[in-house]
Amino acid sequence: MEDGLLSLETSPDSAEALNGIFRAGHTIKGGAGLLNVVEIVAFTHVLENVLDRLRKKEITADQELVTLLLGGCDVIRRLVSCVSEERPIVIDDNYGRVLDVLRKYADATVSAVKQVVAVEAPDDQRERIFRISLHPREDLLETGQDPLMLLLELSDLGEVLAVESDMDRLPAFAELEAQKVYLSWQVLLRSQCPRRAVEGVFTFVSGDNRVDIAEVMNCEHFR
């Protein structure tokens, strides 16, 4: 993947290089998926979206993007070494920073990306309180995701001050469709992690699942 990216510096439109990089990313994602290494799957999923946009010529492999993708390789290399050496995976600031910018390339136009990147201030380590509302799609469990695992991941980011589940949408027993999700959650999380780390927990469930994350001043904003 790295060799392909380096070749893009001289031939940014090389279909051969782009396809090779895409295949490499896809292979890493598939392997991580088999091993259930969510951190790598989440990262390579976004990386793959960016590479796909490159292949479709929706965005251009300029020096800035190539540097970002090379940074992505570093992130993946570190994560893979954690797995191969059977060490716990630690999500550092670099993971979140690179992922965040990759997401913008995956979703937005390049000019919009550069604007957003330019105005973003570096993160500080101050303590934040986040209010997170999770309203999953009814078929979330069928996609292999489990809301409880997402809540568990959230708790890894700091201290869960409060969590409430809402059963109001639960139908009567006879009408219940057993594999659907009817619950929703509100969580109050105290954390020193940046907002993008909280967003990262929901990488796989953004889409049609409603996830609202707000930084609040104090716990009174829970409701």
Partner 1 sequence: MLHVNSEGPQVIRISGDATVCEANTLHVALAGLSLAKEGDINVDLRGLEAMDVSGVQILVAFRRHLGAARVSFRNLPAHILDTLKLGGMDCYFR
Q: Which residues in this chain contact partner 1 in the complex, by CB under 8 A?
A: 141-142, 146-148, 151-152, 155, 160, 162-165, 167, 170-174, 176, 178-183, 185
Closest approach, Cβ 138 to partner 1, in A, equals 11
Burial of 1 (0-12, 13-18, 19+ CB in 10 A): buried
By beta-carbon proximity to partner 1, the closer residue of 53 and 222 is 222
By beta-carbon proximity to partner 1, the closer residue of 22 and 185 is 185
By beta-carbon proximity to partner 1, the closer residue of 95 and 130 is 130
Which residue in this structure is represented by tokens 């929706």? 58
By beta-carbon proximity to partner 1, the closer residue of 23 and 169 is 169
The CA-based diameter of the chain, rounded to the nearest angstrom, is 64
Q: Is the dihedral of CA 151, 140, 92, 62 positive or negative?
A: negative
Enumerate the H helices of the chain as residue ranges.
Answer: 2-8, 15-34, 38-55, 63-84, 93-107, 110-119, 147-155, 195-201
Pairing assessment for the beta strands 158-166 and 128-135 based on DSSP bridges: unpaired
By beta-carbon proximity to partner 1, the closer residue of 117 and 163 is 163
Closest approach, Cβ 153 to partner 1, in A, equals 10
Closest approach, Cβ 152 to partner 1, in A, equals 6
Closest approach, Cβ 208 to partner 1, in A, equals 17
* Number of Cβ atoms within 10 Å of the Cβ of 72: 24
Closest approach, Cβ 220 to partner 1, in A, equals 18
